[in-house]
């Protein structure tokens, strides 16, 4: 989902500090502010990649001002987020669904699966963040589980129960909004945690 | 440097296979085709990040066709290239200069230096690729050397001789055009090379 700058962002609802229901924020927004927080406290260096745009025509209404007047969205060749966490390369895609019982595989694209396969091959940490909007629950699901499901021709979806069981629920808060690196610690650094932290 | 799609890329000059002088290719182009090659042979997973664009207005001339009619280039908050190599997060910026004796610090921006500092802090491999167009020589220079030079208020440039001495010359060929990962091996995996390769 692309947030156009002329579309006003919804104001942050300052509700009771103990409940974070119904904020109406998109997953992308939540991840962006969480990543900014993680960068500021130097916990991780993770950015959302810009949406690739094919620029066709640029005007120069004045010196030092380039105005793009014709461009088109391109299909990305990677996932949306990547960076470095605890010395490891980290790479993930984020998706949300309004479905209650399943996450449809068609929400994930071939290029994203292919990219995640390469991430794992080269020794990076790869996963998918899935939000079930209905339950206001967001999960970290290891890339391999998503890849296996996608590559299984008999499957058109992964069920909510499977994600609940095989993924890890992300705790939410104010800062960071989505404490997804705690889930990453649990999933990928469990041994190290016992020693380091 | 941004290559607009309506600007024709210069054709590849099929000169003698032993000399690659005067190809007139941009460093970005050379890196892109080298990265494609490295991905195809599964040596590394490195991409150029899309140039960030602030989209202001989009028209829909037909269903399923979004035409961006007003947008502006944004200042990126990271370097241009990143990915995974030999299990490590890798991140770099690429610059070229026509100067013969020095590389001016003004070609590097504060956000790029800041980002490279964070890359090193989080345990990634960070460097700058510098091409001296006059000599048709391209070097890998460790990020820390570039950062130190940038942060030194008394310095406005790094000399060609310094880059030659402290950096590593990238060998060129047909595939990949720029064998820059060989230089990365030499600079960052020397110990591992003796054991693994």
* Tens of pLDDT, residues A173-196: 988 999 999 999 999 998 766 655
Residues in chain B with CB shorter than 8 Å from the CB of A74 are 50
Q: For residues A26 and A130, what is the distance between their CA atoms, to the nearest angstrom? A: 12
CB contact B58 to A (< 8 Å): yes
d(CA B75, CA A73): 19
Question: Tell me, what DSSP letter sits at residue B106?
Answer: G
- Mean pLDDT, rounded, of chain A: 88
**Dist. CA A127–CA A119, nearest whole Å:** 10
Residue A155 φ/ψ, nearest 5 degrees: -110, 135
- CATH code linked to domain A27-196: 3.40.1350.10
Per CB-CB distance under 8 Å, the chain A contacts of B1 are: none
> What is the reported pLDDT for B193?
64
Is the pLDDT at B1 greater than 90? The verdict is: no
Is the Cβ of B78 closer than 8 Å to some Cβ of chain A? Answer: yes
β A102-104/A137-142 pair status: unpaired
Sheet holding A53-62, edge to edge: A53-62, A65-73, B65-73, B53-62
The domain spans of chain A are: 27-196
Q: How far apart are CA B131 and CA B103, in angstroms?
A: 9
In degrees rounded to 5, what are phi and psi of residue A164?
A: -60, -40
A61 touches B at CB < 8 Å = no
Above 60 in pLDDT, residue B15? no
pLDDT value of residue B61 = 86
Helix B143-151 vs helix B110-121: crossing angle, to nearest 10:
130
For residues A104 and A43, what is the distance between their CA atoms, to the nearest angstrom?
A: 32
**Looking at this predicted complex, what is its ipTM?**
0.84
Mean per-residue pLDDT over chain B, rounded: 88
pLDDT above 70: residue B14: no
Contact (CB<8Å) A77/B122:
no
Q: Is the pLDDT of residue A13 over 90?
A: no
Q: Using the beta-carbon criterion (under 8 Å), do A50 and B52 form an inter-chain contact?
A: yes
In chain B, which ranges are continuous DSSP H helix?
27-40, 110-121, 143-151, 160-166, 180-188, 190-196
Residue contact A4–B53, C-beta within 8 A = no
pLDDT confidence tier of residue B28, bands split at 50, 70 and 90: very high
Which of 133-192 (A) contact B at CB < 8 A?
none
In this complex, the residue of A76, A84, A91 whose CB is nearest that of residue B123 is A84
User: Chain A residues with CB inside 8 Å of B85's CB?
Assistant: 122
Strand partners, B104: B157
Torsion over CA of B48, B52, B55 and B59, rounded to 10 degrees?
A: -10
Query: For B87, which of A53, A56, A123 is closest by C-beta distance?
Result: A123
Question: Three-state DSSP class for A12?
Answer: coil
Q: Is B80 annotated as a binding residue?
A: yes
| Amino acid B56: pLDDT | 95
A 10 A CB-CB count for A104 gives 12
- Residue B72's pLDDT is 95
Element (DSSP H or E) covering residue B137: strand B137-142
- How confident is the model at residue A25, as a pLDDT? 67
Strands (E), A4-118: 44-48, 53-62, 65-73, 81-85, 88-97, 102-104
Reported as a single tens digit per residue, the pLDDT across B142-180 is 999 999 999 999 999 999 999 999 999 999 998 899 999
- What backbone torsions phi and psi does residue A179 show, to the nearest 5 degrees? -85, 60
Per-window interface: B 2-41 vs A, CB < 8 A:
2, 4-6, 39
pLDDT band at A1 (very low <50, low <70, confident <90, very high): very low
CATH of domain B27-50+76-196: 3.40.1350.10
pLDDT score of B25: 67
What does R_g of chain B's alpha carbons equal in angstroms?
18
Segment B25-37 shows an average pLDDT of 94
Judged against a pLDDT cut of 50, whether residue B21 lies above it is answered with no
Pairing of strands B65-73, B44-48: unpaired
């Amino acid at each position: 989902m692309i947030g156009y700058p002329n579309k006003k962002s919804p104001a942050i609802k300052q509700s009771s500090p103990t409940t974070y229901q119904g904020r109406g924020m998109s997953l992308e927004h939540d991840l962006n502010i969480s990543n900014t927080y993680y960068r500021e406290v130097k916990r991780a260096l993770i950015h959302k990649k810009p949406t690739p745009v094919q620029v066709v025509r640029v005007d120069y209404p004045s010196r030092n001002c380039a105005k793009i007047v014709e461009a088109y969205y391109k299909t990305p060749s990677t996932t949306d987020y990547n960076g470095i966490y605890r010395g490891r390369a980290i790479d993930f895609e984020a998706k949300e669904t309004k479905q209650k019982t399943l996450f449809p595989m068609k929400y994930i694209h071939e290029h994203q699966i292919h990219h995640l396969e390469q991430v794992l091959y080269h020794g990076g940490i790869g996963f998918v963040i899935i939000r079930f909007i209905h339950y206001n629950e967001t999960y970290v699901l290891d890339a391999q589980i998503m890849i296996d499901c996608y590559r299984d021709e008999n499957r058109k979806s992964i069920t909510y129960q499977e994600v609940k069981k095989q993924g890890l629920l992300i705790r939410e808060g104010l800062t960071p909004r989505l404490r997804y690196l705690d889930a990453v610690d649990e999933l990928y650094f469990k041994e190290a945690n016992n020693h380091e932290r």
